[in-house]
């Protein structure tokens, strides 16, 4: 049996961060700035991209985008009211499926990424971790994926990426690998090769 490879996204795919991210957007936008934006509308924007969400909202409330992003990040980093952690089924899959090589590509800074992975004692399961600090173009640009494929001489037919946003899937498509859409919030995605609602299903795909 040939070895399989999977390139993970972090936020919303490996790590359940969206409840805390959403809470921080809500507290700043609807709390501090007295807006009345529905939670589901905030989530839809966040699922496109958090920077995109902040840009749209900063224009709506006439606040500098950088200032707004910094306020939201500060709230998120100090917000201990909302639980966040690795998805349990993802943890089980990574630590028990020995015939799968794991990689990670995230738009997060390396410091926060490693802190969270080390807290879960899972960092050593990843053959390579690419973060914002590595200065690759952000997804959907495929350069970070292609770099991993080239460095580790991965066969594209045996390599998958998993993500919860369209940009993750496009990065996979653009690098010639198979794509898995993690559909936690039951959003429509017609371009991924596979759509899953839980990480247990990965065992059937890989």
φ and ψ of 164, to 5 deg:
-110, 5
Q: Quote the percentage of the chain above a pLDDT of 70.
A: 100
Confidence of residue 185 (pLDDT cuts 50, 70, 90): confident
* Cα→Cα distances 13→37, 49, 67, Å: 25, 14, 27
* Cα→Cα distances 46→24, 40, 148, Å: 11, 10, 27
φ and ψ of 205, to 5 deg:
-85, -45
Question: Is the C-alpha dihedral spanning 10, 74, 85, 46 positive or negative?
Answer: negative
State the average pLDDT for the chain: 94
Q: Quote the percentage of the chain above a pLDDT of 90.
A: 90
φ and ψ of 31, to 5 deg:
-90, -70
Nearest to 40, CA basis, from 52, 61, 25:
25
| Count, residues in the chain | 206
In this predicted model, what pLDDT tens digit does every residue of 74-102 receive, in sequence order? 999 999 889 899 999 999 999 997 789 99
pLDDT value at position 186? 79
Domain positions in the chain are 4-16+85-205, 18-78
State in words which class domain 4-16+85-205 has. Answer: alpha beta
In this predicted model, what pLDDT tens digit does every residue of 5-34 receive, in sequence order? 999 999 999 999 999 999 999 999 999 999
Six-digit token pair at 154?
């991965």
Q: How far is CA 137 from the centre of its chain?
A: 15
pLDDT value at position 1? 65
Segment 175-199 mean pLDDT: 92
Q: With H, G, I as helix, E, B as strand and everything else as coil, classify residue 122.
A: coil
2 pLDDT more than 90: no
């Amino acid at each position: 049996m040939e070895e399989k490879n999977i390139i993970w996204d972090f936020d919303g795919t490996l790590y359940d961060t969206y409840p805390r991210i959403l809470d921080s957007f809500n507290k700043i936008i609807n709390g501090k700035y007295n807006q009345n934006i529905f939670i589901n509308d905030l989530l839809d924007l966040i699922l496109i991209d958090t920077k995109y969400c902040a840009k749209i909202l900063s224009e709506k409330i006439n606040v500098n985008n950088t200032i707004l992003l910094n306020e939201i990040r500060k709230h998120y980093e100090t917000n201990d009211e909302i639980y966040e952690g690795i998805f349990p089924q993802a943890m089980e899959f990574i630590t028990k499926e020995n015939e799968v090589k794991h990689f990670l590509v995230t738009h997060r800074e390396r410091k926060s990424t490693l802190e969270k992975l080390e807290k879960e004692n899972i960092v050593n399961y990843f053959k390579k971790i690419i973060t914002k600090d590595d200065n690759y173009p952000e997804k959907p640009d495929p350069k970070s994926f292609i770099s991993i494929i080239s460095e580790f001489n991965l066969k594209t037919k045996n390599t998958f990426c998993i993500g919860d946003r369209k940009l993750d899937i496009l990065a996979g498509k653009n690098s010639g690998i198979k794509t898995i859409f993690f559909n936690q919030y039951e959003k429509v995605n017609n371009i991924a090769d596979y759509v899953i609602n839980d990480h247990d299903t990965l065992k059937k795909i890989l």
